[in-house]
Structure 1
Amino acid sequence: MLSLESGAVIRSSEGIPFANGFTYKLTQLHEGNERDWPLPEMALEAIEQQEILRDILKQIGFYAEDSSDNSDLSNSLWLRYGHISEFSATGINDNLRTFVKSIGLSSDPGGQNLSSHRFRKTLARLVALALVGAPKILMDLFGHKSIEMTLYYILSDPVIAAEAKLVSEEMVIMRATTAIESIDKYGGKAAERIQHMVEQERFRLGTDLGAENIRELAEILTMNGQAWELVRPGVICTKLPGSVSPCAKKVGHPEASRCMSSCSNRLEEAFLRSDVEGAIAEAIHCYQAEKDADNELMQDFWAAQILTNLERFTDIQEKWKTDPTVLHILRCREQIS
């Protein structure tokens, strides 16, 4: 971040903003390696504001104890205004509280004075969100070569590690709770198993599940947040720790690249239903086109696409079974088997 210069922000051809700078990790070059970081809009706005502030300070002049810092030839995004002694931890916290007051926020949220130390828990929550949803993004932002390095770097702080673990587990339980509440709209082989468990629990209780019952069932299904990994958007692996699955013959994390619709651990979220419907319709259209062109190889390809997507949601499968093309493909599969 300190390596950023004025004008460091660029946009890709898709309009995504990036900040160009240097990283000094994992390199033997004293000048570092040039790289870029993807920027959320909020960070982009902050950098643009910093550039404006930098230009204002250069116009009005600034001072420092070290006269060498007074050079206005530097293109750095950052300038030091004032004496070195002003930048103590206490000074940072005082400035932080002054800032939040100026924008109408409380300087003592929860009855505790705001300080830079309190952001450690905020960092931990952000880490947990990234680890559950997109660990490789976190790895890229830190400039690490492996997710293990990122985990070691962050979780070496016991406070952050404990908070990240707690938030991560709670997110998994929340995901399972949402699935239980709407399991009839979910897909994948695991949905049938979870639906059966929900029905058994209703029978045992003699009534519909309340919020507390759903929470308890979610904790059981996820082993208190230890299981249920998001292997791709909308697709959850419900494999429990210590078990094996078709994607990974050994005990360990699921292999996302080998996730199959036929796996008994696969659970698909409801929002994927429209994608599956569209995929089946498109595959049928392409199958018919290849059939008209007498291209058997591509017919087999699109037939496989149709069969794969049919397995994902039971009710969608029942709906498309009446389609003449789908019916023909299913009969051909039965004859082969």
Structure 2
Amino acid sequence: MNETTPWFTEFEDSRMWVVHARNSMPSKPPYQDELHTTPLSQFRDDTWEYPTTWASENNRNCLFLDFLGHGTFPDGTRLSLSPVTDAILIRQLKEALIALTYRRGILTSERTRVRHLRPTGVYSLLQPLRRLFVAFKRCGCRSLREVNPAVLAETLAMIEPSANAFDNLATTFTDLLCACRHGLISEGLLDLDFEISPPTETFPDLSGPRGWQPISDLNVSEIIRVSEFYVDHVHDIAKWIDYLRRDPESRRHEVLIWARSNLPCGLKLSKMLGGRQLLHNLCGLVYSSCSNFISFHAGLRVSELLSIKTGFISTDQSEAIFDTRKLLLNFTTYKTVLSLQGRQRAVKAHPKLIAISAALEEVRHALGIPGEYLFTPPGESRPYITKRWNKTVLRRFCELHNLDIELTGHRWRKTVAALAVRVFTNASIHLKELFGHASLSMTARYILASPFIREEIRDLTLDEVRKTGKTLLESLSVFGGPRLGGRHGKEMERRFSELFATDITEIDVGKTIDEFVEEMLRQNMLPIPVMPGVLCMKPANARGACATTSGDRLADPARCSAACTWQVQEAHRREVVFFMTRRIAQKWTSWSLLQQTYWGAQCRDQIRAWPELAVRLDDFPGMPTTLKRMILGIDACPTIAN
């Protein structure tokens, strides 16, 4: 690694460096060993380094591009390129990275949009590229010139564990082939008829939810319960951490005896053996417990969580009187801002986080950690990187407690968003008990305290809307359902019947439903529950029957009418309307004229939602003629008629 050159200070960010590199580098290889490939590295180096200011603290591992890193294959084999035997492949790998970083214009024919890569993007680009070169080495190749379609097929079979990995591999090889065709890699791939055939086994169904899904309520309760123990007993744990840190090997046995007697009985102590390993595990138990509470109450990103420093809980006013309603959680956000150094943010904090702050401070003091960051590995002064945090802290926490959960920071974030959706859908009773709140309003306030989960809330809310919309369409008679009611429901029945009478077959039914649901969302026709079995499909710019008295376009569930153009009723409501009409008919003669006017209008509106019930009015024993004429619209109401 070279010393920082005098001209390095000219490049404050990676964009300026890319412009300089494009203009100063030779257009094609061969490249001189002294060529600056990054401000801190030359072509000859086996690890290229970017300046520390070009990535956030949590992504600082992306500042190092290691060409000799290991590639791991599905069969467990680990292999890397050797400077002694694989000098040509290493040189070609470096040339490929230069081509795909600084000559990205060659990809315009393969991509709809080509963007400049920051150091984190270059790091992500090198990983599959290096893995591909290592696979070529495993196939016996010493240069890209020796790669042919047979070698590529062998490589695909060797490193293709999933459909996603196959797509990534295909994209990487296509980019590599493009760079070779433009002469940007010396002794590159021959211009052969390479084919990348998809795997023989069936791809998994991609129509379901993707990525990490929210943690179940049962698992959330279990994680919080276990975490509560370590927060409550952090004082004792911190003392033993300090005791173990001073002499890990000689004091390990004594600490294990204490842990066996005082830590939860479900903890797998056999996996905590070893002096330094025991120290890291004890710290990890407290770290993960504290992060679980912070993530549960605030929904922070992993980078935001790891940016927390000493004194991260404060008040929003400099008053002498301490008020828990004015607590603020201070952190740094990186993803939503342009600056790589992030921006300081503060959101309302739950009072429980006061104890969390004290616990982290106590562990920090016991470890003797320099600096301000609280989530810092023992013996270091900088916070965890994201990948290391998920693997060595959160997942280790579940492993040591025999919890069958793939716990990650982002999964906590998705969970908080899912909980917020429940608040919107009036299902927050369980959340109130889970939070330990005195009222549902407090539950909603704390769940929605962080503005950084709004996008996830919107996505999950739309997922719930899609489920409701799909259920509605499957209830249509044309799809074999029991039919819908309401004026808009009947309009949907009519339109789909006409559509199916023309050009849609039964084969297209499943795809058709999904397409129409998405079209409903694009038109802002969201099926919003108003009451059991009744939904409002009013677009935002339309005016419904509920708004006739107010004069605006805001929906008013309290004034929802079955005569409204936008109302949809589910199938089970038909029998409810039938039962209500029969009961009104039985009591009709005992009511006053005012009562008859009111209930007659109610029956008339409800029958409008289910016109087919009008032919069943004669089935009612003793059906009053006055009521029947009102329902059918022949008479307005008894008051006017008389």
TM over 0.5: yes
Residue 134 of structure 1 is matched in structure 2 by 426
Distance 1:233 1:96, change over 3 A: farther
Identify the match of residue 84 of structure 1 among 350, 362, 367: 362
Paired residues of 1:284 and 1:326 also in contact (CA < 8 A) = yes
Q: Work out whether 1:125 is the aligned partner of 2:422.
A: no
Task: Note closer, same or farther for the CA distance 1:316–1:238 as it changes in structure 2 (3 Å cut).
Answer: same
Q: Give 1:248's match in structure 2, choosing from 547, 551, 556.
A: 547
Structure 2 CA distance, aligned partners of 1:312 and 1:284? 18
**Residue of structure 2 equivalent to 1:189:** 487
How many angstroms does 1:247 deviate by? Answer: 1.4
Letter in 1 for 2:516: L
Q: 1:209-266 CA deviation, whole Å, 9 max, x = no partner?
A: 5111111122223326663322223211111121222212556441111110100100
Letter in 2 for 1:207: T
Secondary structure of the residue aligned to 1:325 is: coil
When residues 313 and 106 of structure 1 are mapped into structure 2, their CA distance, relative to the original with a 3 A threshold, is: same
| Aligned residue runs from structure 1 range 43-58, under 5 A | none
Checking the alignment, whether the CA contact within 8 Å between 2:544 and 2:553 is kept in structure 1 is no
Larger radius of gyration: 2
Q: State yes or no: 1:298 paired with 2:590.
A: no
Give the one of 521, 545, 560 matched to 1:222: 521
Alignment-mate amino acid for residue 312 of structure 1? A
Counterpart CA distance in 2 for 1:242 and 1:296 is 39
Change (3 A) 1:252 1:169: farther
Among candidates 271, 277, 281, match of residue 578 of structure 2? 277
Q: With structure 2 as the length reference, what TM-score do the two structures score?
A: 0.35
- Which 4+ residue blocks in structure 1 deviate beyond 4 angstroms? 78-83, 86-96, 135-140, 149-152, 249-252
**2:604 partner letter:** L
* Structure 1 equivalent of residue 609 of structure 2: 312
Query: Equivalent residue for 1:167?
Result: 460
Equivalent residue number for residue 139 of structure 2: none
1:101-129: per-residue Cα shift (whole Å, max 9, x none)? 3345143xxxxxx2344311121133234
The TM-score with structure 1 as length reference comes to: 0.61
Which residue is 2:503 aligned to? Answer: 205
Q: Is contact 1:168–1:225 with CA below 8 Å preserved after alignment? A: no
Residue 532 of structure 2 corresponds to: 233
Which amino acid in 2 is paired with 1:212? K
Consecutive unaligned residues in structure 2, runs of 5 or more: 1-216, 240-351, 367-373, 378-388, 433-438, 478-482, 638-642
1:46-68 deviations in whole A, cap 9, x for unaligned? 79x78x979xx89xx973779xx
Other structure's SS at 2:616 match? helix
Separation in structure 2 between the aligned mates of residue 128 and residue 274 of structure 1, nearest angstrom: 31
Between the aligned partners of 2:376 and 2:484, the Cα distance in structure 1 is: 52
Query: Could you tell me whether the CA contact under 8 Å between 1:190 and 1:265 is conserved in 2?
Result: yes
**Alpha-carbon spacing, 1:129–1:183, altered in 2? closer, same or farther (3 Å):** farther
Identify the range of structure 1 (186-195 vs 319-328) with the bigger mean alpha-carbon deviation. Answer: 319-328
Q: Name the SS for the 1:231 alignment partner.
A: strand
Structure 2 Cα separation of the partners of residues 326 and 97 of structure 1: 70
**What does the per-residue CA deviation read over 1:51-101, in whole Å, with 9 as the maximum and x for residues that have no partner?**
x979xx89xx973779xxxxxxxxx9x999999207964799766535533
Q: C-alpha separation between the residues in 2 aligned to 1:317 and 1:136?
A: 40
Q: Tell whether the 8 Å contact from 1:173 to 1:225 is kept in structure 2 after alignment.
A: no
Counterparts of 1:303 and 1:213, CA distance in 2: 40
Q: Distance in 2 between matches of 1:135 and 1:253?
A: 23
Higher relative CO (CA 8 A, sep ≥ 6), structure 1 or 2? 1
Distance (whole Å) between structure 1 residues aligned to residue 457 and residue 426 of structure 2: 14
SS at match of 1:334: coil
